């Protein structure tokens, strides 16, 4: 019979869970960033860092995603830079090669979860149901991104999922804003949130970095 056991990396799943916990403890908010222009990469990162966000999720939704990760890892080594919108193992490999320090996915497939289990990088898989959690759980995952959070039941869903999955912690993303942030963070099984509300596209396009810094600082202040 063929052995289908997933080969575990030197960096164990327990170690990667600890890395995600530490990342979320420091970050509190993971800004979900899609780069439309290469010229925005560094000033946007600097604006977010000035407001208090030092962990950035750079999505691969645009042609500049991988290049932005490389630029930030080279020019801003003090930041934690991860890759988001990873859809398959090929994108995962490209993100690893670009220097990503963590991986975030919008959903979960068996193949992608297995690739993440084999990777040296911590992976935060996206889920929207108990069944998806169970697939990841079987491979050792205990930290998940609830996406899209509000459409998938929001705070109510997180409370309900806490019953059958007491070890699981969530990073809700999608519909999270300054208006409902405190409701999410009040849940004991929420470790951080993902959001975009502090990165208004109009501010980025006009280079209004000060407004992004102010919005970021206001978001961080909600945790006080």
Give all domains of the chain, ordered by start, each with its CATH number: 13-221 (3.20.20.70)
For residue 224, the model assigns a pLDDT of 82
**Is there a catalytic annotation at residue 145?**
yes
In this model, does residue 189 exceed pLDDT 50? yes
For residue 1, the model assigns a pLDDT of 40
Exposed / middle / buried, residue 186 (Cβ in 10 Å: 0-12, 13-18, 19+): exposed
| Percent of the chain residues topping a pLDDT of 70 | 96
**Is there a catalytic annotation at residue 57?**
yes
Return the structure tokens found at 105. Answer: 């996915």
Active-site option among 16, 28, 132, 145: 145
Average confidence (pLDDT) over 166-192: 97
Query: Tokens 């990342």 sit at which residue?
Result: 23
CA distance 97 to 82: 12
* Each residue's pLDDT tens digit, 53-78: 999 999 999 999 999 999 999 999 99
Q: Is 28 left (phi over 0), alpha (psi -120 to 50) or beta?
A: left
Active-site option among 57, 67, 120, 205: 57
DSSP 11: S
Return the structure tokens found at 88. Answer: 């398959």
């Amino acid at each position: 019979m063929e052995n289908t056991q997933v080969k575990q990396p030197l960096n164990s799943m327990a170690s990667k869970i600890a890395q995600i916990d530490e990342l979320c403890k420091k970050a509190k908010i993971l800004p979900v960033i899609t780069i439309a222009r290469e010229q925005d990469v560094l000033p946007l990162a600097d604006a977010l860092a000035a407001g208090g966000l030092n962990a950035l999720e750079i999505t691969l939704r645009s042609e500049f995603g991988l290049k932005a990760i490389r630029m930030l890892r080279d020019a801003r080594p003090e930041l934690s830079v991860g890759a988001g919108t990873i859809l398959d193992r090929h994108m995962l490999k490209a993100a690893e090669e670009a220097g990503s320090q963590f991986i975030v996915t919008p959903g979960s497939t068996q193949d992608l979860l297995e690739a993440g289990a084999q990777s040296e990088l911590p992976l935060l898989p996206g889920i929207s149901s108990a069944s998806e959690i169970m697939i990841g759980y079987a491979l050792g995952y205990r930290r998940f991104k609830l996406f899209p959070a509000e459409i998938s039941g929001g705070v109510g869903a997180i409370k309900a999922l806490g019953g059958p999955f007491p070890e699981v912690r969530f990073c809700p993303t999608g519909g999270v804003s300054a208006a409902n942030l405190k409701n999410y963070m009040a849940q004991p099984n929420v470790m951080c949130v993902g959001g975009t509300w502090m990165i208004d596209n109009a501010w980025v396009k006009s280079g209004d970095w000060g407004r992004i810094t102010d919005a970021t600082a206001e978001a961080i202040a909600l945790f006080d």
